[in-house]
Structure 1
Amino acid sequence: MVIPVHDVNPARRTAWVTYALLAANIVVFLLTPGMAGSVVGEGSLAQLCHLQAFLDQYAAVPRELIHHQMPRLVPTGEVGVGPQGPGCVVGPPPYDKSPELSVLTAMFLHGSWLHLLGNMLFLWIFGNNIEDRMGHIRFLVFYVVCGYAASYGFAVLNNASAAPLIGASGAIAGVLGAYLVLYPRARVWVLVPFLIFLPLRLPAWTVLGLWFALQAVYSSGGGISDAGTVAYAAHVVGFLAGMLIAWPLRPGTPPPPEPRGIVFGRRARPGW
């Protein structure tokens, strides 16, 4: 798997929406109950119970999205002692949850620093050009639509699941799909793990095509986005949604600039 670090495709205007989304995701993560434990360790039982209660309220759950089957008992955020020792107390939900709105709130929730930073890296690199091409408002609508398509697509394939679905991955996958359609020949600097991290400059169609192929392969085994697994099927649906929405914009999209300069001690050839 290659790690993108920069694309050679300057934007014409400031990507205010992309920067706002980056900031919002980071702020929400820092304010999410129990996430302090992800920095220094596992966290206390009280933090974990509080986090479970928070996710049950604000994360998207496939069974709720498809069947509107709301649980009768949920974690309350409190710690109790039962026959098997300390644990999280459950009780009737003290809130009225909208499954449709939970898709939006779930798009700003992440389960760990690695989860957050990985998503924000891709949004930082590829989001500005898509926002530049679409415009600020249309890009925001596009981002949300891709996130909804990814969540509901995953929910259809896993309609009996009660595990929380969180993260901006589906929406960002839509951004990647749009980038592949609009800027397939743009060059992307990546790090390739091969004994050490080797820097290479590859065309976007190679980088993003490989990323999509891996998501498609992994999704064949299913997957649920919680603390230990990834919703690969949501990535696939979001990516395809982004491609379809961006396709009509292809004819008027200017090509990225040709990279120039020195590459590994040699002058780059035209089109490198």
Structure 2
Amino acid sequence: MVPLRDRNPTVITPYITYGLIAVNILVFLYELTLPPAQLEGFFHLAAIVPRELSASFSGISVNQQVPEWMTLFTSQFLHGGFLHLAGNMLFLWIFGNNIEDKLGHLKYLIFYLACGALAGLTQWFFSPASPVPSLGASGAIAGVLGAYILRFPKAQILTLFGYFVTTVPAYFFLGLWFIQQAFYGIASLNAPANIGMESGGIAYWAHAGGFVFGAILGPMLGLFDDRSPSEPF
């Protein structure tokens, strides 16, 4: 199931969304220039390492050049591969513009970074001793999805189901996505070696947490203040 494009127009030019996509791409291009050993070190420096974050919260120095709390933000611009980057940027391009239109540029940037940081903390809460770096924009983008399902629940999403293309309402597509993340997150509690961040896989709790925090922070920042621009119907 892959979203191709929504039918909800945007009014303002989504400079922040475009800028975030550009920064993510530039950082990934930088990653490609690093040999494997240096890339591993770069990830360890700028990604969230839950074990080290736990130590910093306890006042224990981990001898890192970047303060551990800052990795809650720097990790949002790192990606482990081209498909990881492409999938995240596709979702950000599809859904981010309309949320930026509703919140405005500055509040949207604050919203995006806050959702990413809170998503990272959600994953840390469930795996505080993990030595595996957690990285990617998916937690912040999950926050965008959480706001989108509230603001545009009936917007039609052109979606690829296997070999078939159809349209489904946003509440169905994004609701199903959230249920999947929550289910796999719960499953990972009983199988940490096979699924979730312990295996270096998908940080499902970060996705679910980002989605919930996006649904909370969006209205607080004015998601529903102006109902006239960029309505889907």
Using structure 2 for the length normalisation, give the TM-score.
Answer: 0.89
> What's the CA shift for 1:66?
2.5
- Structure 2 match to 1:267: none
The answer on whether the counterparts of 1:58 and 1:102 sit within 8 Å (CA) in structure 2 is yes
**Structure 1 moving runs of 4+ over 6 Å:** none
- Structure 2 match to 1:224: 197
Matched to 2:81, the amino acid is: S
Q: Distance in 2 between matches of 1:184 and 1:169?
A: 20
Residue of 175, 179, 198 corresponding to 1:209: 175
Q: Distance in 2 between matches of 1:49 and 1:154?
A: 26
Instruction: Please state if 1:250 is matched with 2:224.
Output: yes
Instruction: Please state if 1:234 is matched with 2:203.
Output: no
Q: Once the two structures are superposed, what CA deviation does each residue of 1:63-108 show, in whole Å capped at 9, x if it has no partner?
A: 222231555xxxxxxxxxxxxxxxxxxxxx6x53301111211110
Q: Distance in 2 between matches of 1:257 and 1:140?
A: 23
> What's the CA shift for 1:112?
0.5
Matched to 1:146, the amino acid is: C
- Structure 2 match to 1:53: 41
Q: Bigger radius of gyration, 1 or 2?
A: 1
Secondary structure of 1:220's counterpart equals helix
Using structure 1 for the length normalisation, give the TM-score.
Answer: 0.76
Q: Which structure would you say has the larger RCO, counting Cα contacts within 8 Å and 6 or more residues apart?
A: 2
Q: Once the two structures are superposed, what CA deviation does each residue of 1:162-184 show, in whole Å capped at 9, x if it has no partner?
A: 11010001000000000001000
Instruction: Please state if 1:138 is matched with 2:126.
Output: no
Secondary structure of 2:66's counterpart equals coil
The answer on whether the counterparts of 1:15 and 1:128 sit within 8 Å (CA) in structure 2 is yes
Q: Distance in 2 between matches of 1:147 and 1:127?
A: 14
Spell out the pairing of 1:1-272 with structure 2 (5 A cutoff).
2-32=1-31, 35=32, 47-68=35-56, 69=60, 95-193=64-162, 197-222=163-188, 223-224=196-197, 228-248=200-220, 249-250=223-224, 252-254=226-228, 256-258=231-233
Unaligned residue ranges in structure 2 (runs of 5+): 189-195
Identity of aligned residues (%): 42
Q: How many residues align?
A: 220
The answer on whether the counterparts of 2:47 and 2:75 sit within 8 Å (CA) in structure 1 is yes
Q: Distance in 1 between matches of 2:127 and 2:198?
A: 11
Matched to 2:27, the amino acid is: V
Unaligned residue ranges in structure 1 (runs of 5+): 37-45, 72-92, 259-272
The answer on whether the counterparts of 1:165 and 1:225 sit within 8 Å (CA) in structure 2 is no
Matched to 2:127, the amino acid is: N
Matched to 1:231, the amino acid is: A
Secondary structure of 2:3's counterpart equals strand
> What's the CA shift for 1:252?
3.8
Secondary structure of 2:89's counterpart equals helix
RMSD over equivalenced CA pairs, Å: 1.8
